[in-house]
């Protein structure tokens, strides 16, 4: 193990989660304790802020430990985020952008780079570590995963998923209780986030293995959606009860590849070329009203899925902090060009526990972890108990933010 002395920089990237600030707190806490690390800087708005030298010194701010605690239950990305993609080798801006980054690193004597983000952000970690290796700038570059989508490979689950899953599972319980109060025939379609994977939608069924209620039908984007089968499934539910509740992923597609919500698509395309979807629930609501003539309603849980810090999974917040902390330890020990991962342990005695590890970023960046076949039932209209047993430990325990006069108190750098 080579000792590398210098400063560190940490950034947040991609869509916020309710746990991404817990990971930031974990990195800061680890860096404050490390004798090899002098100062710890935060990039405002991720790599975008690094390029513009918008750096903020974190040591002084967080010498007050109570601020780290408040940061852990603060929603969104406290340092700000970005969706900037670093250029490819054959892009005209490649040399200019990476030169600028190295200049900033030299100016601030940055030897440790921690980037908290999802799939797209790991692309940044990969390119940056390739470049610094090639140009011989000695530093440690470590990615720390976060995404509510749980779609990063190599890790048992992603920090941020547990909080989103808990919010979705709890809110779905409430909606199931709410829609159950009337005796009239009705369908409620609940649309959940998930462009390519059904991890979040799967969490809506957690009540089934916990003595609670659960949606009658659950459709994930891992299966082709058929309107004919859907209507057939609804008829089957109506033969048992007047109220049907359906959970759907925003990214459901028909066999020809068209999105179910295409009619109501917003037309926005992000920097990574992903189309912003909206309207899968709304499209199905309209189709149901036409087909069955009954009351139909759609509910899109929307942004609160990723920012509802008023109901946090203790498992997720503790792991999110822990994996940030572990990233610093790993970097000090020489780890670079890697992403931190969470490994599930101790399943033998039935008690969930986890360990932190790390993995070559080449194996991870720009790949997607889908819900596996044995987590989806044969008809493709629900998830299996095996799937729910995988998710359940991740929502365990409750952490709440502090409230003053009835309103939540958060950390902000603008204070």
Query: Which residues here bind a copy of itself, judged by CB under 8 A?
Result: 12, 16, 45, 48, 74-77, 80-83, 166, 169-171, 173-175, 177-183, 188, 206-207, 210, 212, 266-268, 285, 289, 295, 297, 299-304, 306-311, 313, 315, 392-393, 395-398, 400, 403-408, 410
- Determine the Cα–Cα distance for residues 311 and 164; give it in Å rounded to an integer: 9
Q: Which lies closer to a copy of itself via its Cβ, residue 312 or residue 341?
A: 312
Q: Which lies closer to a copy of itself via its Cβ, residue 136 or residue 406?
A: 406
Minimum Å distance from CB 256 to a copy of itself?
26
Q: Which lies closer to a copy of itself via its Cβ, residue 143 or residue 393?
A: 393
- Taking a C-beta distance cutoff of 8 angstroms, is the pair 74, 410 a contact? yes
Token pair listed for 245 = 């509740």
- Taking a C-beta distance cutoff of 8 angstroms, is the pair 204, 301 a contact? no
Q: Which lies closer to a copy of itself via its Cβ, residue 134 or residue 351?
A: 351
Minimum Å distance from CB 335 to a copy of itself?
28
Angle ∠(196,230,148) on CA atoms, nearest 5:
25
3-state secondary structure 111-175: EEEEEEECHHHHHHHHHHHHHHHHCCCCCEEEEEECCCCCCCCCCCCCCCHHHHHHHHHHHHHHH
Residue 149 bears catalytic tag? yes
Q: Which lies closer to a copy of itself via its Cβ, residue 282 or residue 369?
A: 282
- The sign of the CA dihedral 216, 220, 224, 226 is positive
CB 149: neighbour CB atoms within 10 A? 26
Minimum Å distance from CB 358 to a copy of itself?
26
CB 415: neighbour CB atoms within 10 A? 7
Token pair listed for 115 = 């980037």
- Determine the Cα–Cα distance for residues 407 and 385; give it in Å rounded to an integer: 38
Q: Which lies closer to a copy of itself via its Cβ, residue 145 or residue 154?
A: 145
Token pair listed for 48 = 């975008």
Minimum Å distance from CB 74 to a copy of itself?
7
Catalytic residue among 149, 151, 233, 316, which? 149
**Phi, psi angles (nearest 5°) of residue 88:** -80, 165
Minimum Å distance from CB 311 to a copy of itself?
5
**Residues composing the chain:** 415
In angstroms, the Cα distances linking 166 to 20, 148, 206 are: 16, 11, 9
Minimum Å distance from CB 339 to a copy of itself?
21
DSSP letter assigned to residue 91: S
- Determine the Cα–Cα distance for residues 401 and 73; give it in Å rounded to an integer: 5
Question: What is the set of active-site residues?
Answer: 149
């Amino acid at each position: 193990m080579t000792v590398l002395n210098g400063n560190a920089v940490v950034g947040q990237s991609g869509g916020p989660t309710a746990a991404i600030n817990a990971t930031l707190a974990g990195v800061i806490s680890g860096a404050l304790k490390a004798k090899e690390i002098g100062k710890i800087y935060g990039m405002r708005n991720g790599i975008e802020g690094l390029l513009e030298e918008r750096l903020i010194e974190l040591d002084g701010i967080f010498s007050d430990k109570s601020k780290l605690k408040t940061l852990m239950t603060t929603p969104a990305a406290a340092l700000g985020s970005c969706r900037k993609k670093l250029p490819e080798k054959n892009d005209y801006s490649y040399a200019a952008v990476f030169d600028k980054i190295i200049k900033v690193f030299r100016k601030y004597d940055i030897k440790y780079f921690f980037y908290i983000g999802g799939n797209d952000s790991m692309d940044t970690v990969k390119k940056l570590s390739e470049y610094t290796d090639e140009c011989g700038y000695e530093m440690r570059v470590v990615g720390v995963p976060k995404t509510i989508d749980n779609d990063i490979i190599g890790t048992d689950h992603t920090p941020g998923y547990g909080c989103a899953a808990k919010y979705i599972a709890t809110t779905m319980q409430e909606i199931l209780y709410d829609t159950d109060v009337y005796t009239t025939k009705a369908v409620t379609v609940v649309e959940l986030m998930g462009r390519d994977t059904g991890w979040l939608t799967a969490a809506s069924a957690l009540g089934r293995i916990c003595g609670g209620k659960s949606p009658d039908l659950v459709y994930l984007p891992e299966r082709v959606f058929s309107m004919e089968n859907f209507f057939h499934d609804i008829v089957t539910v109506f033969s048992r009860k007047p109220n049907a509740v359906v959970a759907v992923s925003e990214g459901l597609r028909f066999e020809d590849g068209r999105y179910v919500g295409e009619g109501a698509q917003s037309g926005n395309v992000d920097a990574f070329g992903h189309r912003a979807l909206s309207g899968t629930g709304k499209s199905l609501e309209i189709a149901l009203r036409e087909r069955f003539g009954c009351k139909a309603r759609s509910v899109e849980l929307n942004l609160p899925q990723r920012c509802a810090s008023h109901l946090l999974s203790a498992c997720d917040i503790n792991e999110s902090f822990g994996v940030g902390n572990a990233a610093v330890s790993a970097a000090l020990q020489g780890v670079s060009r890697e992403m931190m991962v969470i490994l599930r342990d101790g399943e033998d005695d039935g008690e969930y526990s986890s360990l932190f590890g790390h993995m070559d970023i080449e194996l991870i960046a720009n790949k997607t972890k889908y819900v596996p076949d044995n987590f989806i039932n044969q008809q493709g209209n629900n998830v299996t108990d095996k799937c729910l047993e995988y998710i359940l430990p991740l929502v365990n325990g409750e952490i709440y933010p502090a409230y003053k006069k009835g309103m939540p108190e958060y950390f902000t750098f603008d204070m």
